[in-house]
Amino acid sequence: MSASLNAATAACATAADVPACDGPLPVLGRDVTVPLVTGGEVTYAALDYAASAPALQRVWDDVAAYAPYYGSVHRGAGYLSQLSTDLFEQSRATVAEFLDCRPADQVVFTRSTTDSLNLLAAALPAGCQVFVFETEHHASLLPWGDARVTYLNAPRTPDEAVATLERALADRTASTEEGYGPALVCVTGASNVTGELWPVKELATAAHAHGARIVLDAAQLAPHHPVSVRELDVDWVAFSGHKLYAPFGSGVLAGRADWLQEAQPYLAGGGASRKVARREDGGVDVEWHTTAARHEAGSPNVIGVYSIASACRALREAGFENLVAREEHLIAKVREGLAEVPAVRVLSLFGDDAPRVGVISFVVDGWNSSHFAAALSAEYGIGVRDGLFCAHPLVRTLLGSEPQAQGECGAPETAPGERSLNAIRVSFGAGTPDEHVERFVRAVRELVEDGAKWQYRTEEGRCVPAV
């Protein structure tokens, strides 16, 4: 690459300095005001980070700096195409560094965590057996297709999680009927329901001791804690940009190359193929790439990929030690505030002392969760999530129902004011000001003590303010 092209690429990658993390990192939407049904406006408190985190201002600035240089990736001779290609591949290196990947690992860009895990599922070798806890998000629970899947019951301590997996893997290796073929363990790093951290390193040790591999769903972990592929000793890691303050529709699957190289391309098309030739019989012969490009067919989402790399840089420069310390301060505020409201029950697998990220789910006695969430939004300008959070078996287990029962993500099952099997989730992160969680705690207390100030009705399965 020419010196001028290097300079232009560096200019695109330059953003404003990341502030020291003694307060929230600047995010888009931090000054947005929303109307209240009771009159007036208030600054919106975005407390649904576990679904999609707001974009860091740093990411937006980086993307805006790159946008005039936008061009096709990998297939153009022009200056902008070469610059975009270079930026795309530099982004791959940035993500590998962020994840502390091994030298031989591949970083494949996808659309999301769900897409990443479906890609891996499509690359499983024949006869592979998959082990997954019922506590997983549906992105980890459902994509395994025709593989033999063993669903493990929800553990109540981290040690029980490890012991449960060890027993299941030992039963597999002892079974002459099933044989000792390839196996994969899929586990979350941090629950999208309770926020609790899972014993990933210990589970990886157990998996490898029994000849299995392990993939880490880091969708809720990577935005809050450093993730080291080497230190955790996982075989793959998957995460989404839109939860990592880079909401432009890209994701990552990073890890060992062999299963990915041996599998058929996830999508067939340009970019995945190295050479295509007609045969005399009228068909075509295809030679596929063995690099990450094998599973990146089509024109890549270069802006989405670059935004992920920008977010990775921003979080590293802000310092995870500072980010974690500040988030623990916010977690303590919320948990202490909720503990003072007797009608509130916080959901947990591992207990009050378990380490966690800024994701907390709860129910309120006498309230339908959709009704409560609607009141938080309409009367206080607070955005949270209600429902089963695309983790139906886990939430139903925590609420004491049968984990096989069916439901719809985010939809209440009864009229407002009646108890139903859904919960409320508040989630926050690097861009959350203290005032947002303080307003949330105050709003919970006031709603429980005084009730809603407005009337609500059910519309298309949701509680909304009555007009």
190 DSSP β-pair partners: 197
Task: Tell me if residue 409 is catalytic.
Answer: no
Count H helices, E strands: the chain? 14, 19
Catalytic residue among 12, 186, 312, 390: 390
438: number of Cβ within 10 Å: 15
- 284 sits in the region (left: phi over 0; alpha: psi -120 to 50; else beta) called beta
Strand arrangement of the beta sheet that strand 423-427 belongs to: 344-346, 359-364, 423-427, 385-387
DSSP run (H or E) holding 236: strand 236-240
Burial of 316 (0-12, 13-18, 19+ CB in 10 A): middle
What contacts 364, CB < 8 A, 6 or more positions away?
341, 343, 344, 345, 372, 424, 444, 447, 448
3-state secondary structure of 264: coil
- 3-state DSSP of 422-437: CEEEEECCCCCCHHHH
CA distances (Å), 183 to each of 131, 172, 216, 233, in order?
8, 9, 14, 16
> Using an 8 Å Cβ cutoff, are 368 and 417 in contact?
yes
Q: Which two tokens stand for residue 19?
A: 């502030």
**Could you list the active site residues?**
390
